[in-house]
Structure 1
Amino acid sequence: MTDDADVRIVADELTKSFAPAGRGGTALAVLGGVSFTVRAGEFVTVIGPSGCGKSTVFNMLAGLESPDSGSVRCHADDAADTGAHCAYMPQKDLLFPWRSVLDNTVLGLQVQGVPKAEARRRARALFPAFGLAGFEDARPAQLSGGMRQRAALLRTVVQEREPLLLDEPFGALDSLTRTEMQSWLQEVWQRYRWTVLMITHDIREAVYLSDRVLVLSARPATVRHELHVDLPRPRDLSLITTPEFAALEAELLEILHEESRRALAQQRMPGS
């Protein structure tokens, strides 16, 4: 894999198998040699059939899992230090209902040992950019679904760790709110130019937001396809109706359907 100083994530031939539940049985091979890189300021999305190991790769980058073989690196540091350099936003917002929105957003900083007053100052400065100004003292139950996700992302980025790992950040939202959040994320990403690696099951979302889209195969997963999204930025929502956008979406859809059929066939095989 490349040693380019501009590279922020390196996944090199990652393999992983999980032991079967209970005694006996055959280990389940989930990753079969996943390799990719992500450069500074790049927005890369990972898609693939359900159960192919997307979240397993993220867990390795976050330091929550170890590969059976291969390596992961962030900021060209050793694999052992990877989790300390990544900011991970899981699928659910995980906001504590008894804490104010502001106090929820400083949790990561406080865990790092940042004094409370300084943590609150740093988080509060981001509230206008995240559309949360005036809601610092609100409780999570008083926020809409989209606002809760923005608060969760603020909690992630205020830690000033890159890259950002976003695991289906809008998967639980309704269609309209999801579309609004996609537009908002593109705007705020262009402002800050974070290095982002995102998981999604939404092909349109992947094309709309990304510089590149990585398609994982059915397990044991490898990178089946890499799509460069050469569409102009900033991207207006009207872009999704253009022939250029539709062609990219169709290309991904065909490959993903093929891999999903392979995954379904595996599930039907005896012993799988």
Structure 2
Amino acid sequence: MTDIPSRLVVDCLTKSFPQPGRGRPDRQVLDGVSFTAEPGEFVAVIGPSGCGKSTVFTMLAGLDTPDSGSVRVGDDPATAGHCAYMPQKDLLFPWRSVLDNTALGLEVQGLSKQEARQRARELFPTFGLSGFEDARPSQLSGGMRQRAALLRTVVQNRDLLLLDEPFGALDSLTRTEMQSWLQSVWQRYRWTALMITHDIREAVFLSDRVIVLSARPATVVREVRVDLPRPRELSLVTAPEFVALEQELLEVLHEESRRALAEQDTEHRRP
């Protein structure tokens, strides 16, 4: 990351996509999404399935442009150069070693293979991957694969980490272990991080703030600050203050999910 991380400002994003079929109007996905992320802050983004969370992330990563609104990192429009994006699947190449996989982003940026491998290798102890530099991804557990994918993301030295359901494919026990691990390495490096998740408990456990998007077309309907002490132990999830935050978010999300189902039903009834 840069020495002085920049503030992320998402300002009134709107986005529509064409629908298949002649004469059908464009489908609006985003309707004025606005929020911020302060330097070193961990922000979770939740919302009903299909509401547009990943669409927001593609714009943060500079991979798509909004119909209106803007995304800024500091004083600059967001581009692919500001963000490191970790998608839901680890996307490790099976024919490359773990070290070569984690160095790939740096090679794409133009670093020599030797320098890229050296920078990535330095993070292997922190990410619990020492001794697996020459292994193939098929030899790693699910949690180790996700740690390798996150290493590949953070070694790119970007202002902002975008984590799109990073633990969604893991079993419950491994997911819990990865949440604790991610918290520990985030506290060490204090990256500015945004994470999409469908797991409300995960959002509360990891984040400083939780942004709740509405049913499509998405807008921000709630912003909840998580003022819980760090480091957060797993026993915290049964504490009254944790349960209260979880319940508040669950109620908002259930209401938006009901709205999404009602909208889908209305669309299906249209000729």
TM-score (norm 2): 0.96
SS in 1 for 2:81: helix
Q: 8 Å contact 2:5–2:159 — kept in the other structure?
A: no
Amino acid across the alignment from 1:119? A
Q: Report the alpha carbon displacement of residue 6 of structure 1 after superposing the two structures with TM.
A: 7.0
Q: Report the alpha carbon displacement of residue 78 of structure 1 after superposing the two structures with TM.
A: 2.4
SS in 2 for 1:26: coil
- Give the unaligned 5+ runs of structure 2: none
Structure 1 equivalent of residue 38 of structure 2: 39
Structure 1 equivalent of residue 98 of structure 2: 101
Q: 8 Å contact 1:10–1:72 — kept in the other structure?
A: yes
Once the two structures are superposed, residues 226-251 of structure 1 have per-residue CA deviations (whole angstroms, 9 ceiling, x without a partner) of 00000000000000011110000000
CA distance in 2, matches of 1:118, 1:225: 44
CA distance in 2, matches of 1:201, 1:6: 27
Q: Report the alpha carbon displacement of residue 149 of structure 1 after superposing the two structures with TM.
A: 0.2
Structure 1 equivalent of residue 197 of structure 2: 200
Task: Please list, as runs of the form range in 1=range in 2, the aligned pairs for 1:179-258 lying within 5 A after superposition.
Answer: 179-258=176-255
1:164 to 161, 177, 184: 161
Amino acid across the alignment from 1:171? G
Task: Please list, as runs of the form range in 1=range in 2, the aligned pairs for 1:121-160 lying within 5 A after superposition.
Answer: 121-160=118-157
TM-aligned CA distance change 1:138 to 1:231, over 3 Å: same
Q: 8 Å contact 2:8–2:73 — kept in the other structure?
A: yes
Equivalent residue pairs, number: 266
Q: 8 Å contact 1:98–1:139 — kept in the other structure?
A: yes
Once the two structures are superposed, residues 137-171 of structure 1 have per-residue CA deviations (whole angstroms, 9 ceiling, x without a partner) of 00000000000000000000000012000000000
SS in 2 for 1:15: strand
Matched, 1:60 2:59: yes
TM-score (norm 1): 0.96
Q: 8 Å contact 1:42–1:211 — kept in the other structure?
A: yes
Misfit runs of 4+, over 3 Å? none
Structure 1 equivalent of residue 21 of structure 2: 22
1:114 to 77, 102, 111: 111
Amino acid across the alignment from 2:45? V
Q: Report the alpha carbon displacement of residue 76 of structure 1 after superposing the two structures with TM.
A: 2.5
Q: Report the alpha carbon displacement of residue 22 of structure 1 after superposing the two structures with TM.
A: 3.3
Q: Report the alpha carbon displacement of residue 74 of structure 1 after superposing the two structures with TM.
A: 1.8
SS in 2 for 1:105: helix
Amino acid across the alignment from 1:84? G
1:267 to 253, 261, 264: 264
SS in 1 for 2:127: coil
Q: 8 Å contact 2:14–2:68 — kept in the other structure?
A: yes
SS in 1 for 2:212: strand
| CA RMSD between the two structures | 1.2
1:175 to 172, 175, 188: 172
Q: Report the alpha carbon displacement of residue 271 of structure 1 after superposing the two structures with TM.
A: 3.7
Amino acid across the alignment from 1:131? G
CA distance in 2, matches of 1:271, 1:21: 15
CA distance in 2, matches of 1:75, 1:207: 26
CA distance in 2, matches of 1:123, 1:246: 39
Amino acid across the alignment from 1:94? L
CA distance in 1, matches of 2:158, 2:73: 10
Matched, 1:75 2:49: no
TM-aligned CA distance change 1:85 to 1:27, over 3 Å: same
- Give the unaligned 5+ runs of structure 1: none
CA distance in 2, matches of 1:219, 1:144: 36
Once the two structures are superposed, residues 79-134 of structure 1 have per-residue CA deviations (whole angstroms, 9 ceiling, x without a partner) of 4xx22110000000000000000000011000000011111110000000000000
